[in-house]
Amino acid sequence: MGRREVERVVAVDWSGDQSAAGQRKKIWAGIWTAGAGGSVDGGRVRLESGRTREEVGEWLIGMALKTPRMVVGFDFCFSFPKWFVKGELGCGDGPAFWELVDGERWLAAECADGRFWGKAGTGRDGKRPAEFSGERLHRMLRATDIDCKIAAVIPEAERAARVRGIAPKSVFQVGGAGSVGTASLRGMPVLKRLRAAGFAVWPFDRAGSKWPLVVEMYTRLNTGAVRKSNAEARAAYLAKKLREDAAYAALGRGVMAKASGSEDGFDALVSCMVMTARRGEFAGLRTPKDSGYRVEGWTWAPGVNA
Which residues in the chain come in under a pLDDT of 70?
1-4, 36-38, 149-167, 305-306
Kindly provide the b/e burial profile for residues 129-159, where b requires at least 16 CB atoms within 10 angstroms of the residue's own CB.
Answer: beebeeeeeebbbbbbbebbbbbeebeeeeb
pLDDT (tens digit, 9 = 90+) per residue, 120-155?
A: 888 788 899 999 988 888 899 999 988 876 555 555
Report the alpha-carbon distance of residue 107 to residue 121 in Å, rounded. 9
pLDDT at residue 3, rounded to an integer: 43
Cα separations in angstroms, 154 against 157, 160, 202, 259, 291: 7, 5, 21, 29, 18
Helix axes 253-261 and 231-244, enclosed angle (nearest 10)? 150
Q: How many CA atoms lie within 13 A of 251 on its CB side?
A: 27
pLDDT at residue 152, rounded to an integer: 53
**Strand-pair category, 8-13 with 28-34:** antiparallel
pLDDT at residue 274, rounded to an integer: 96
Pick the closest to residue 98 from 16, 178, 186 (CA basis): 186
Report the alpha-carbon distance of residue 192 to residue 166 in Å, rounded. 30
Cis preceding-peptide flag for 95 (omega within 30 of 0): no
pLDDT at residue 4, rounded to an integer: 46
pLDDT at residue 167, rounded to an integer: 66
Is the pTM here over 0.75, yes or no?
A: yes
Report the alpha-carbon distance of residue 273 to residue 44 in Å, rounded. 11
The secondary structure element, H or E, covering residue 185 is helix 181-185
Within its chain, how far is the Cα of 141 from the centroid?
Answer: 16
Cα separations in angstroms, 156 against 83, 159, 163, 180: 28, 5, 11, 25
Ramachandran category for residue 42: left, alpha or beta (phi over 0 → left; psi -120 to 50 → alpha): left
